[in-house]
Amino acid sequence: MTPETRIRRDAAVLVAEDRRFSGMDPAALPIEVWGPGFGPLIHLILGQQVSIEAADAMYGNLQRSLGTVTPEGVLGLDGDTMRRCGFSRMKAEYARGLADACLDGLDLDALATQADVEVVDTLIELRGIGRWTAEWYLLVCLGRRDVFPVGDLGLRIGVLDLWEFP
Which are the catalytic amino acids?
Answer: 152
82 Cβ contact list (under 8 Å, min separation 6): 92, 95
Q: Which long-range contacts (CB under 8 A, 24 or more apart) does 16-25 make?
A: 20/162, 20/163
Taking the chain, what is the end-to-end CA distance rounded to the nearest angstrom? 39
Query: Is the sign of the CA dihedral 127, 133, 137, 138 positive or negative?
Result: positive
Residue 146, amino acid? D
* Phi, psi angles (nearest 5°) of residue 10: -65, -40
In 34-152, where does DSSP find H-type helix? 38-46, 52-66, 71-75, 79-85, 89-103, 116-123, 131-136
Decide if 99 contacts 76 (C-beta within 8 A).
no
d(C-alpha 59, C-alpha 87), whole Å: 9
